[in-house]
Amino acid sequence: MLKYFQNKYAMSEKGAKDLFNSIIWTVIMDISFMFPVVLGFKFLDEYMRLLLNPSSNRRDSILYYVVMSAALFLVMLVVAYFQYNSTFTKIYEESARRRISLAETLRKLPLAFFGKKDIADLSSTIMEDATQVEVLFSHSVPQIYAAGLTVLTMGVLMFFYNWQLSLAVFWVVPVAALVFYLSRKLQKSTHANLYNMKRDISDKMQEGLDSAHEIKSYNREESFSNTLDSKLDNYEKLMIEGELLIGAFINLSYAFLKLGLPSVILYGAYLLSTGSVTIFTYLVFLVVAARIYNPIMDAMNKFALLMYLNVRIKRMKEMDEMPRQDGKSEFYPKNYDIEFKNVDFSYQDGVQTLKNVSFIAKQGDVTALVGPSGGGKSTVAKLSARFWDIDKGVITLGGEDISLIDPETLLNHYSIVFQDVTLFNASVMDNIRLGKKDASDEEVIKAAQLAQCDEFVKKLPQGYDALIGENGERLSGGERQRISIARAILKDAPIILLDEATASLDTENESKIQSALSELIRNKTVLIIAHRMRTVSGADKIVVIKDGNIAETGTPSELKEKQGIFSSMLKTQYQNH
């Protein structure tokens, strides 16, 4: 049973045990609610016997019923406490474990995963899906199982008491269950379609927010709104259709259940007229029939929600089963040479991005990756920091295979500046300190000065304490890039990856930062990706990448003499300028 819960609901072993305990305590609580009814019937039974036989001395005192009522109240209170603790407190603890597990999964995924994954998809799974699963597990799942067990327990006891009236009570249950079961396939497909459509709408809204400037610039507001409206209309239409169809099946099940009470009334009256049952037994079954169908209907309604839950759990399982990157957490390389040996890589099956790539980026040298757009330069740089794991070959750092090193440990040795800068809605000081969390204010300011940030930061209202908005919206592109460079300078790692690091800077600031970078990269392994040839003119080594292959390697002067791709790119850029 525990393994079943773990596999079906993507639970931890502790969570499965807590769910099992929750079901048991909910069953006990449901049965305990019958105690006052039993005590009431016992009192009525004695009272009726006394009316029929006033001379009888077999009766309990009023004090007995008062004491029993108080005792039952205390028992129900204790049971309710344990049921609440097991159903809500423990389920919330499992929800916390599930969220942490998702976060740990994301932490272990390749960094490049986040570059290609829609942020709306990830945030929806982590926040909305986890919340919905938490609510359903605390308010529905234990109650569904408990309702089934409670009805089964009550049914067995009632059949022993009087099988004829029990048959009249319960014949409708399998019929209603069959009708509900036949709707399962429809419910599953409807919930899956609704879930995917809702996710698609979230993605579209996220896209609109991220691309608001482009949409307005090209007067595409009406087109975007029409597309979004169409998606919302389709979602609304599918939701209405789904509610109607699923509601029809559920209400048909309810209708069959409602036939149970008339069955007990009519058949019980017949048995009463023939003297097969007493009036007391007849009344007992009437009361039971009036109450027992409600938990069954409630379970059916919650079971419909469980279909929706399955879609969300499936999504969580998919995320949890994604290939993670692991490795040793202790790494002390003898040097910081990066070597690619016959490396093949593809982002998707059948589409090879890199083919048999081999080169060495030596410590103390600046190695520039150049070539036509889409050739694989950025991919090479990201693979050197294990953003992805390769398909074939090996990448080493200091002679050690980086696929055997934990990515977090590996990245301690890298400072990375990409063309697309990510900043946080925090102060300038905190954004730069991201490069070294324990850096003093003086260290941060020194790094900012080297990255030519000091001049524009001092113009901000609060200087280094000024908030820069979400992703640095209050700064220009060049200013944002300089903060990113300041981070790398502050981290002062032995390996530096620069992907068009000065692309957003004017000529004057680019020259200043090149001077600062020349101090930063001394005795370090440097990989530079650049399209401007003057940016790599001072490189120690040029690696030309075209169509996923190494086309040329050598010093700038050597490649100029070869009159190959690099020489052609130089001539083209100088002619255009």
CA–CA gap between residue 341 and residue 112 (Å, rounded): 21
Determine the pLDDT at residue 576: 56
CA–CA gap between residue 239 and residue 216 (Å, rounded): 32
Instruction: Report H helices in 10-140.
Output: 13-32, 35-52, 62-84, 90-108, 113-116, 119-123, 130-139
| Residue 5 to residues 10, 252, 318, Cα–Cα distance (Å) | 7, 30, 17
Phi and psi torsions of 353, nearest 5°: -95, -45
In this structure, are residues 56 and 49 in contact, taking their beta carbons and an 8 Å threshold?
yes
Query: Tens digit of pLDDT per residue, the chain (577 long)?
Result: 777 777 777 777 888 888 888 888 888 887 787 777 777 777 776 776 666 666 655 555 677 778 888 888 898 899 888 888 888 888 888 888 888 877 777 777 776 666 555 555 666 666 677 777 777 777 777 877 777 787 788 788 888 888 888 888 888 888 888 887 777 777 777 777 887 788 788 778 877 877 887 888 888 888 888 888 888 888 888 888 877 877 788 788 888 888 888 888 898 888 888 888 888 788 878 877 877 777 777 777 777 667 667 777 777 777 777 777 888 888 888 899 999 999 999 887 767 889 999 999 999 888 999 888 888 888 898 899 988 888 899 999 999 999 999 988 999 999 888 777 788 888 989 999 988 888 999 999 998 888 888 888 988 888 889 888 877 788 887 788 888 888 888 998 999 988 876 665 666 666 666 766 776 677 789 898 877 666 677 788 999 998 889 988 988 888 888 888 888 877 776 665 5
Determine the pLDDT at residue 339: 94
- 266: which DSSP letter? H
Greatest CA separation for the chain: 126
Determine the pLDDT at residue 112: 61
Which amino acid appears at position 302 of this protein?
K
CA–CA gap between residue 474 and residue 472 (Å, rounded): 5
DSSP states of 163-201: HHHHHHHHTHHHHHHHHHHHTHHHHHHHHHHHHHHHHHH
Pair of tokens at residue 523: 């005795």
- Name 476's Cβ contacts closer than 8 Å, sequence gap at least 6: 504
Pair of tokens at residue 266: 């009519």
- 328: which DSSP letter? B
CA–CA gap between residue 385 and residue 374 (Å, rounded): 19
Determine the pLDDT at residue 429: 92
Pairing of strands 549-554, 541-546: antiparallel
Tokens 């080594």, located at residue: 541
Helix (H, G, I), strand (E, B) or coil at 299: helix
* pTM (2 d.p.): 0.65
Helix (H, G, I), strand (E, B) or coil at 361: strand
In this structure, are residues 371 and 552 in contact, taking their beta carbons and an 8 Å threshold?
no
| Residue 388 to residues 33, 109, 344, 378, 568, Cα–Cα distance (Å) | 58, 9, 12, 12, 32
Domains with residue ranges and CATH for the chain: 2-320 (1.20.1560.10), 327-413+495-502+522-577 (3.40.50.300), 420-492 (3.40.50.300)
* CA 273 to chain CA mean position, Å: 63
In this structure, are residues 112 and 29 in contact, taking their beta carbons and an 8 Å threshold?
no
